[in-house]
Chain A
């Protein structure tokens, strides 16, 4: 039933891909969305940020909220790398490549949106030239730029493993050498990520003038610094799980071993539980000590109907504790409910970022001021949808032409999960960069 697609020579050997026509058809709506979004972005760049519904009070809006959310969800990339390369959880080799791509699209998309969000993108490099080392944003800028570079470097070998590119010996050698040092990049990436995830939290936690966001902390880091790291690594695996499940559903194929989901769920569950615990302690300290010290009562923050205490409950219990407990129960973790739990967890993290960005700016700080609300303009939404479209397109292309799921062919050949090759085999598969490595030595070590 193999179709003679014109791009067949580019597709991995031994895996099934849909016809080029159907693939292009799948891309069309996303390309349209991308074009629409690029138009919105163009308006923002050419005519200025008056095209947005941001204003002097809502200096940050949809873009920053989604940037924070996306970067948190993209944490799966570095954390999987950390688990695989440093903690040696070899099961994760099944999806490390897809994790890198997910991370790359999340981070590159976020950086592009940031460039539209700032008023003078051509001066963005001033941060490197005149850095204010006391600013969390400087830390974020440095780390995200460097980490994006790391992700790029991690992405290169995956690209070079394309069936066609691999024919060029120079690329092969380059990829091989790059692979040897990948553990270094994984370590660097982990370090950078820990820092910028934390700094993104610190971004708001240090705002002494915004009692709703302000937190005390350790040394120069407010508690949000640590909570953001914890929440990001807790939800990163959950998001990877969702993405892989979605890819499996769309391609109607098994792409990773079910064991991987169990592992991701367990990791996510335990981290989420500890996050919820610490977040609760932090909230109590903030409400009873930090905020009153600067003249605000917890009550002040929740008097407005739009942002009542329900939002606190939703953030910590409904979208925090509930998915955490679900993921900790093995039966739930292995069943279909795992997807629900992962969804809840991802939503919870987005809600947390929403609360820190949007709600902080909504709440009045001056005693005579009132609550303000904001609704993004179509240009803002379009620009962001363009990033979604870009992510889908890049992921689709990567899936079609690159070995995103190294064990795909293997799993395809043998649908029975019990007869999966032993651990060493998976290791080899990873090392040789995918299932179609028949023409190469099976091991380089």
Chain B
């Protein structure tokens, strides 16, 4: 063998073979195939194929419920766009809505009940640390826990937190908690706090909306009117009424005056931006009122005139429940005048940092260039104004008659309930601040995406020190769900029949129905069905009147149909159709299910709100008005004020469509919660530099943020966004995120806008 095959032969054959292969088509074929392979990587997703159809619906990610058109392939919505002329969305969707169909694929999505893995137990809130369990078992577990508390007579230690009050589901929550003896706690909506409204009149006030059509002056105390996108409140569509409000383009017809410390998008685009000293909204409102009263510019023909010009009880109580406050008498007015005497423009200028000339000008404009409305702000991340400031703002409206006419605050009729629920209405409503500290042993948190931030501190304060259980109904293991001992996921937005509640400030009632665009996962259960099954297990009356949620929605639509009022904005073409044109409740329902929106006629009979006289002042607590400045609890060594802020529906740590990262991570379009915004001079004095990390210290702790200098920021203030957390866009450990909410200490009124703070450079 070896004799015939020498090395030389081997080399020859090998060399020849290589040359032959090189000249053959083989290498070229391989080259080509390799390139083709790079064009068809197996891990590249395959595109869906099929006929494309269209459906109409509503987005339920935030309370606004904008109308949407869904392009469908293979039964799945792949593109969402706004409905033309939609009364809520105005024809477009916000970024959240545009990517709304992505939300159900979020890595933090729960596909079934999960137990454990809460942050407090050292978990990360992720599935790896939790045990999943069958739906039936989870329901039995929850019922068992409730039963334990019931047995020891501690039902009042149970509370349900409703993230989106005003829905039929909210009604079911109320009925359930009423028959259990538990608290029903609705999340805050915009506008005046319910506490403040309660303080305004001895009788319950009707539901208030704002009729902005034709408003010429909108005085906003920090309300994000032009921020973000138009929904969900009607006030946020102000620019649609008023035209564009940028520099050099301000329409003479309408003026937005924004009182805000932070250079928000609204402040930057407002016709007039008053950058007040932190917490001086109350002082400014009183200062404006001083000018209006002093110069006699108030509405002399309306309530203010009767109260201030008359002897205080000029108009006897006429049986109108709204006028019952009239008996308060002149002492209150003396107190109010006395109070205003402390706020002449010069004094106010000192407190607010706004010149006395500007204060006079604004007061005159507000009083004379009517119709004018003053609204209190609630930044989704910064929380509500303190109650006194809200009261002072309320008074401004009272002075100029905005509570007495159309084109201002108006009352609106409530949506009719389905007949079976109307007979036994839901129980009392508790506000979170009224729940005694340390009293709750079980808190059930509704699953809707909250549109405002809620500091965890506010909730833990209410929970019992030991053995308190949080149950989350969120479809995601993010936000509050990370603290939950048990999570029973509800269907994600666009996966179930849902109702769009009337916006808090809508002048008339509205009703819209969101039809599902996709199937929920097997393990998800709608909260109404969950409560139904728990009620059955505990032998309680059915909270939904033995009807499933879809049936209740249909019945509510039927109840609306029976009122024979209002009109429908048709989904598919945006046309206005009077309700009378529908010949059956079923036809009306079909229209609603196809993206239609019903809008009530204006309620002409209750156009005048009447005097809620106590609103001017509660003389029992004059001392609390001393400063007119809601200052943060002063602490030595903290020269700055930390004011958090946040975008709507994204102010916390909730799951968001991952593609939203384009606005936060992949560009600097929106403020990241990892940045601290500082005036350049403040940064220089603190020894920190633009673009570099710095410590932000408050009495509650310290976190590391990136400094972003902005010459428009108030020199005594630092701003940090409360959300969205980096993990909101996907599945990430939470530790990487310097949550500013943990640096805040909300006061007993549930206000956390201002916290004393200081900046320290990070030593290398």
Contact = CB atoms under 8 A, between A and B. Distances in A.
Interface of A: 120, 122-123, 125-126
Contacts of B37: 122
Interface of B: 31, 34-35, 37-38
Given A122-B37, A123-B35, 8 more contacts: A120-B38, A122-B34, A122-B35, A122-B38, A123-B38, A125-B31, A125-B35, A126-B35
A123 B31 CA distance: 8
A123 B37 CA distance: 10
Contacts of A125: 31, 35
Contacts of B31: 125
B667 to A, nearest CB: 11
B666 to A, nearest CB: 10
A46 B31 CA distance: 19
B438 to A, nearest CB: 49
Nearest to A123: B35
A245 to B, nearest CB: 40
A222 B605 CA distance: 81
A120 B31 CA distance: 13
Contacts of B34: 122
Closest 7 A/B residue pairs (Cβ): A122-B34, A123-B35, A122-B38, A120-B38, A122-B35, A123-B38, A125-B31
Nearest to A124: B35
A120 B35 CA distance: 9
Contacts of B38: 120, 122-123
Contacts of A122: 34-35, 37-38
A120 B37 CA distance: 11
Contacts of A123: 35, 38
A120 B34 CA distance: 10
Nearest to A120: B38
A126 B38 CA distance: 13
B77 to A, nearest CB: 31
Q: For the complex, would chain A's binding face be called helix, strand, loop or mixed by DSSP majority?
A: helix
10 contacts: A120-B38, A122-B34, A122-B35, A122-B37, A122-B38, A123-B35, A123-B38, A125-B31, A125-B35, A126-B35
A123 B34 CA distance: 8
Nearest to A125: B31
B36 to A, nearest CB: 9
Contacts of A120: 38
B43 to A, nearest CB: 12
Contacts of B35: 122-123, 125-126
A88 B535 CA distance: 103
A44 to B, nearest CB: 16
Contacts of A126: 35
Nearest to A56: B666
A122 B39 CA distance: 10
A120 B40 CA distance: 13
A44 B38 CA distance: 16
Nearest to B666: A56
A288 B35 CA distance: 47
A122 B35 CA distance: 6
B603 to A, nearest CB: 50
B327 to A, nearest CB: 62
A262 to B, nearest CB: 45
A185 to B, nearest CB: 21
A304 to B, nearest CB: 15
A120 to B, nearest CB: 5
B475 to A, nearest CB: 31
A122 B36 CA distance: 9
B286 to A, nearest CB: 42
B691 to A, nearest CB: 10
A93 to B, nearest CB: 31
A122 B30 CA distance: 10
Instruction: Give the residue among A122, A125, A126 with the most B Cβ atoms within 10 A.
Output: A122
Nearest to A119: B38
A381 B35 CA distance: 28
A62 B37 CA distance: 29
Nearest to A122: B34
B32 to A, nearest CB: 9
Nearest to B35: A123
A120 B39 CA distance: 10
A125 B29 CA distance: 13
B30 to A, nearest CB: 10
B103 to A, nearest CB: 26
Nearest to A126: B35
A46 to B, nearest CB: 13
A245 B37 CA distance: 48
A122 B33 CA distance: 10
Nearest to B12: A170
A122 B31 CA distance: 8
A123 B35 CA distance: 5
A125 B30 CA distance: 12
A125 B31 CA distance: 8
A92 B37 CA distance: 49
A312 B37 CA distance: 47
A126 B35 CA distance: 9
A179 to B, nearest CB: 21
Nearest to B31: A125
B306 to A, nearest CB: 56
Nearest to B33: A122
A123 B36 CA distance: 9
B40 to A, nearest CB: 12
Nearest to B39: A123
A116 to B, nearest CB: 15
A123 B40 CA distance: 13
Nearest to A121: B38
A125 B28 CA distance: 10
A122 B37 CA distance: 9
A131 to B, nearest CB: 15
A99 B757 CA distance: 67
B10 to A, nearest CB: 14
A327 to B, nearest CB: 44
A123 B39 CA distance: 9
B7 to A, nearest CB: 11
A125 B37 CA distance: 14
A125 B35 CA distance: 9
A37 B35 CA distance: 26
B710 to A, nearest CB: 15
A362 to B, nearest CB: 16
A125 B34 CA distance: 11
A125 B27 CA distance: 12
B432 to A, nearest CB: 44
A272 B395 CA distance: 83
Nearest to B34: A122
Nearest to B37: A122
B523 to A, nearest CB: 35
